[in-house]
Amino acid sequence: MFPKRRILAAAALLASAIAFVPSAQAAANGPTDTVLVSANVPVSCVFTTTSDSVNFGTYDPIGANATLALTQPLTAHYICTQSDITYTFAFSDPNQTGGQCRMRRSSTSDYLNYNVKDTGSVAFLCNNAPASATGQPPGAGIGALSYIFTFTLPAGQNTVQTGTYTDTLTITIAG
């Protein structure tokens, strides 16, 4: 008799638990609401590493460099969000004039011109004017990317004073 009561009590407990579980049909017929879920992914780029200097070494405008320009590469490593637009690079030089990149000798008014191009010969001005880099893939942003720029110190700048010329160039990438 005792086990029979236990079985009946367990059956009654199970039946009451089942009565409180809503059925799928009851849930589907109940009140509903919608929830807006959103996120914005901006056009964004960051440099991961960039060679920190371009050093032309010795420039002799009346000797070896009277007819021979000096060139040096600069590799910029970056990552961008994926986008349908083409990213652009811009160079900003505090010594520039008319977009011409220039190094300055100390705090004098003596300047030495140089040029910046990409591997596809797109010339960049140094007045912060953006230019599309040749071969820059639209939608770039999958993994780390790199881009090579060529800096050229033109031959025959024989009116410059002797000394060390420097410049601080800012590179900006934008989409």
Looking at the predicted structure, is the pLDDT value of residue 85 above 90? no
Amino acid, single-letter form, for residue 79: I
Give ∠ CA 164-169-175 in degrees, rounded to 5.
165
Model confidence pLDDT, tens digit, residues 22-73? 555 555 688 999 999 999 988 888 888 767 789 999 999 999 999 999 999 9
From the options 3.40.50.920, 2.60.40.1090, 1.10.3980.10, 3.40.50.1370, give the CATH code of 45-174. 2.60.40.1090
- Mean pLDDT value across residues 75-87: 79
The share of the chain scoring above pLDDT 70, in percent, equals 76
| pLDDT reported for residue 127 | 93
Cβ contact 128:90 at 8 Å: yes
Model confidence pLDDT, tens digit, residues 129-153? 888 765 554 445 556 778 888 999 9
- Domain extents for the chain? 45-174
| pLDDT reported for residue 6 | 58
One DSSP character per residue, the chain reads -HHHHHHHHHHHHHHHHHHHSPPHHHHHTS--------------EEEEEE----------TTTTTTT--EEEEEEEEEEE---SSPPEEEEE-TT-BTTBEEEEETTSS-EEEEEEEETT--EE-SBS--EEPTT--TT--SS-EEEEEEEEE-TT-TTPPSS-EE---EEEEE-
